[in-house]
Structure 1
Amino acid sequence: MSATPRRALLVIDVQNEYVTGDLPIAYPDVQTSLANVGRAIDAARAAGVPVVVVQNFAPAESPLFARGSVGAELHPVVASRQRDHYVEKALPSAFAGTDLAAWLTAHNIDTLAVAGYMTHNCDASTVFDATHAGLAVEFIEDASGSVPYENAAGAASAEEIHRVFKVVMHSRFAAVASTDAWIAALDAGVPLERDNIYASNQRARASQVAA
């Protein structure tokens, strides 16, 4: 990777389903994350960084993201802004069955910044795939969000899910930062500070001993 990152901003699934539909983002506050998505797009465009918009579709009979439904439409925060590339997907990762990898290669992108929904599903899947593809990855934590779950494996709040996934991502898969910190790094043309599994674990063990 070059000293000055060759970034692209990937805006994943900012669709009505997560705002006014049947899968409302619960943490962080969706209006806050939407505003930060808009800020990230505007900053990227001002810096000449390409913006890639991803939209998820399910079959017409699906209860979520059904093709042709209002819920599947891009939210106006994204739909009203210009983009450089568009990706339609049907699986969690934006790389699965799409031309994203080829487009990034063709545009010499070495650093992928990820925003949008959901932290633990499409964002995480995309972050993992991007890391495995050799890209440096940045995750904009307050321009994303999670929902709560309860199933046979247990229950977790949206805040718990979002927090745990961003900690795991920062330990190996992505540099996790706020929108403010990401824009500052973008304006300075520098990479975000990264971490690693060893250091993350050593800190946790030291904290446990201290407690």
Structure 2
Amino acid sequence: MKQIRNTNSDGARPEGSKTAFLVIDMQKAFVEPGAALRIAGAKATVPAIRRALDAARRAGARIWWVEREYAADGSDMEKPRRKALESLGISGVLAPGSTGLNSVEQPDGLRKEPGDRTIIKKRYSAFFGTDLDRQLREEGIETIVLLGTTTPNCIRSTCYDGISLNYDVVVLEPCCSSNTPEIQRSNMEDMERAGAVIIRLSDLSTVL
């Protein structure tokens, strides 16, 4: 496995501070059973994500929560998703300040900590239409570690954009989710071929 090791010659910052963990779309609307946009494998990743974030904080890594948020009427939602929800008579999904099953809230078992940052996005990639790249560069981030849901859409598109922007991209496989194991496996293989490093929790020391 390729290793990514942050370098720090002046001793001024912990090695982990050049690494950012991006927690993508871990919100009730995508995670909780019965939610309108639920991803089948997402709920099971919560304990692994919590462990990864605990390790990241101990190492001095920065954490960004990348979250979906749409106007209450769905007017800024992607057309296919808006049409699908309208056909089911569902509205108000991921509306600002929403609570409950289809809300923007973190799922049970995950919570933000002081010092964590939040990026609001409207589309798959964490970089599309946001100032995430600027924020990462201002913090001297060189490596991004991707966690969350869903692997074939938001994780994958953020991975490819991160590679295009010359970040070292790491995907923490047990902390990402898809609707089926086959989808998960094929997308991990594709991202690895594109240049991402795919790791498990036991490999976290290689990026911190």
Question: Shorter-normalised TM-score: what interval?
Answer: 0.7 to 0.9
TM-superposed deviation, 1:3: 4.6
CA distance in 2, matches of 1:23, 1:167: 25
Q: Where does residue 102 of structure 1 map in the other structure?
A: 134
Q: C-alpha offsets along residues 28-87 of structure 1, whole Å, 9 cap, x if unaligned?
A: xx3431111111111110000111111101232344434343322222433253443210
Unaligned runs of 5+ in 2: 8-17, 75-84, 86-92
2:194 aligns to what SS in structure 1?
Answer: helix
Q: Find 2:98's aligned residue among 47, 55, 69.
A: 69
1:33 corresponds in structure 2 to 45
Aligned to 1:192: none
TM superposition score normalised by structure 2: 0.76
Give the secondary structure class of the aligned counterpart of 2:110: helix
Deviation at 1:181, TM superposition (A): 1.6
Q: C-alpha separation between the residues in 2 aligned to 1:109 and 1:47?
A: 14
> What amino acid maps onto 1:172 in structure 2?
A
Distance 1:164 1:3 in 2: 27
Structure 1 alignment gaps of length 5 or more: 148-157, 190-211
Deviations 1:95-122 (A, max 9, x none): 1111110011101111100001111111
> Does the CA-based 8 Å contact 1:141-1:177 persist in structure 2?
yes
In the other structure, the counterpart of 1:86 is: 118
Greater shift after overlay, 162-171 or 79-88?
79-88
For residue 208 of structure 1, what is the aligned residue in structure 2? none
Q: Which has the higher contact order (CA 8 A, sep 6+)?
A: 2
State the Cα RMSD in Å.
1.9
- 1:4 — aligned with what? 6
In the superposition, the TM-score normalised over structure 1's length comes to 0.75
Alpha-carbon distance between aligned partners in 1 of 2:168 and 2:94, rounded to the nearest angstrom: 30
Match of 1:123 in 2: 155
More displaced 10-residue stretch of structure 1: 62-71 or 90-99: 62-71
